[in-house]
Structure formats: structure tokens, C-alpha cells
Amino acid sequence: MAKAITELKKHFSTDQQAMAAILVLQKKLNTLLASPDDGEPESDEDFPLPKELVDRPESFALFSDGACRGNPGPGAWGAMGQDSEGNVIFEKWGVDIATTNNKMELEGAIKALEVIGEYLTTNSLSHKVPLFLYSDSRYVVDGITSWVAGWKKRGWKKADRKTPENLEQWQELDTLSYNFPNLRFLWVKGHAGHPQNERCDEMANFALDQLDT
């Protein structure tokens, strides 16, 4: 996002009105450095350990969600991770000025995998550890577990020979997935009291709120 702001400043350097608008946008985006809870992370006790991690030491659970106000419109994603002892090891979120809900759902999953990859490398852990990524998006879970294989066989084309929507994100998610041989994608029902899913939704909507302030 910082790179995009820099490019906008270069492009509109002689337009005072545009520069003023860009500076306002930059200020709003900078507020995303603050946490939805004023920097205080949620207690690990608020997030029960998923059953898939029970009796699986050195396994990890990832959670992601996306949100969009208008479709297309401004959107955001939230992601978090837990280790096999239930400790929250990361929480991340981000925004996009003009996007779609499906793209943000994909982006949340992508960021979750990027962060866990960095975490495993930093802590000298194998990328072969069991990983479980939970999403409330059937689009994401069905896509990566079922649709992508067929698209790839057809040269990244759907059965009707059309290019899949959000191709760049699908290819990125597919590439990242191959870094983790024991990765499983699991669907959870959204807005149904699932604590980690609700937390990701909260982070995404917090990020969107900052654009409106």
C-alpha cells in the first residue's frame, strides 16, 4: 500500500487538489498500525484449540476472513494463527481501496500462509508440520481443494475455456500451498459464534472502519 501511495504522489505531483486527497488517504491508512483493541491482543483463552490440533504437537491452525463494503468497493482481510498449545502467534489485517469480497477472502488465506511460512522459517521449524487453514468462504475452500486442479490441467482455464476470476490470487494461493505438504483447508460457518473466525471478521471490519474515519 505504501508503494501505491508513493506512485500516486508521483503521478499527481502537480495537482494540488489530488495531492491533498492522497495525504488524507495516507493518514487514514497509517491508523491501521493501531490494533482494534488499542494494541492489546485477545487472550489465548478466548480461542479454544481446534479439535484437529488436539494430540498433534507442533501443528498450527490458521484462520482468515474477508470483508467488502460494496462489491466491488473498499475491502479488507483479517488473519490469525495459533500453535498446538493454543497460543495466538499472530494477528494481521489489511485493506484494499477497490476490490471484491471474494478477492479479500482469498487475500486473507494468502496472507495467513505467508505469515506462517515466515514464522516457521524464523523459528527453524519444518514446513512439513501439520497446518489447518479455516475459512468461512466456500469459494476459497472449494476452489483450492477442487477447482484449481482442473483449471491447471486446462492451462488455468475453466471448463468453458474462460479464465477464472481472481486468477492472480488463485495462482498465488496455489503456489503457497505447495510450500506446506501437510496443509488442509477446512470450511467453518461464518457469523455462527466461531471465536477465531469472528476475530478475523472483527479485524477486517476494523480496518474498513479506519477508511471511513
**Active site annotation includes 65:** yes
Q: Among the options 39, 168, 191, 212, which is catalytic?
A: 191
Q: Among the options 83, 96, 105, 198, which is catalytic?
A: 105
How many CB atoms neighbour CB 18 within 10 A? 14
Question: Order of strands, edge to edge, in the sheet holding 131-135?
Answer: 88-99, 73-83, 60-68, 131-135, 183-187
**Active site annotation includes 160:** no
Q: Among the options 65, 83, 96, 107, which is catalytic?
A: 65
Q: Among the options 91, 107, 136, 198, which is catalytic?
A: 136
Q: What gap in Å lies between CA 207 and CA 33, rounded to an integer?
A: 10
**Active site annotation includes 212:** no
**Active site annotation includes 83:** no
Q: Among the options 83, 96, 201, 202, which is catalytic?
A: 201
**Which own/partner pairs from 93-98 qualify as long-range (CB within 8 Å, at least 24 positions apart)?**
93/32, 93/203, 93/204, 93/206, 93/207, 94/1, 94/32, 94/207, 95/1, 95/29, 95/32, 95/207, 95/208, 95/210, 95/211, 97/25, 97/211, 98/72, 98/73, 98/74
**Active site annotation includes 136:** yes
**Active site annotation includes 11:** no
**Residues that are catalytic:** 65-66, 105, 136, 191, 201
